[in-house]
Amino acid sequence: MGKLDRRVVVITGAARGQGEQEARLFAAEGARVVLGDVLDDQGEALAKELGESTARYVHLDVSREDDWSAAVTTAKRAFGKIDGLVNNAGILRFNELVSTPLEEFQQVVQVNQVGAFLGMKTVVPELEAAGGGTVVNTASYTALTGMALLTSYAATKAAIVGMTRVAAMELAGRGIRVNAVCPGAVDTPMTNPAQLDPDVDPAEVAQAVDEVYRKLVPMGRIGRPEEVAKLALFLTSDDSSYITGQPFVIDGGWLAGVSVL
């Protein structure tokens, strides 16, 4: 018996990184997964690997309401219902506050904040129709503390924590739990774009990353996407049946403070 047997979960940003690991883990735990992303080749390949009885891929620009409606239609046609949502899709832009163009700020808001809003707005009625369910929103540890050069990103992630709390209050009576994961640095292409550069030696990249986070993080390393996936699984499964409205930090102790050693 898996922890998500017979459950149908929509996961955004599922073609790679945290979303891919969530999709793989959820499928291994018995869920049928609907993978949403704009990286069509990678998303379709992952769905094919997981198998038609387990997964479907749908092109999903999370900032577009029509795409969300299409994703819901795909999920219901393939699997009959929706029991869970993981709002994982997001983008990251580094810039000083006064140097951030309005267009860049709005782009991050559209994907990170509006995407999570539209996901909940569109999928929650389906969760209610299924008799209840779960939402896991991907925020960030920067939602709870500051970090230079991340005005737009931190603003959207703080908004996600706020929406999570409000949604949890509104939906508890309908059998729907809403929580947020707040990762610190995680070794994915979003935080480490060098992974996508074919001219860069992966071993050199890994060594450089290790050196940075050995100094910054109490646990001495960057996080792994599969570790975040396990937290998302916990919040989606019945193991967290009495938890809602909470932001869960998963950062190797980074938020705890600064080491002088």
Catalytic residue among 57, 141, 153, 213: 153
Q: Using CA atoms, how far apart are residues 10 and 191, in angstroms rounded to an integer?
A: 23
| Widest distance between CA atoms in the chain | 56
Q: How would DSSP label each residue in 129-160?
A: HTT-EEEEEE--GGGTS--TTBHHHHHHHHHH
Burial class (CB in 10 A: 0-12, 13-18, 19+), 206: middle
Catalytic site includes residue 153 = yes
Question: Distances in Å between the alpha carbon of 225 and those of 8, 10, 123, 132, 229?
Answer: 21, 18, 24, 27, 6
Q: Are 82 and 56 in contact (CB under 8 A)?
A: no
Catalytic residues: 153
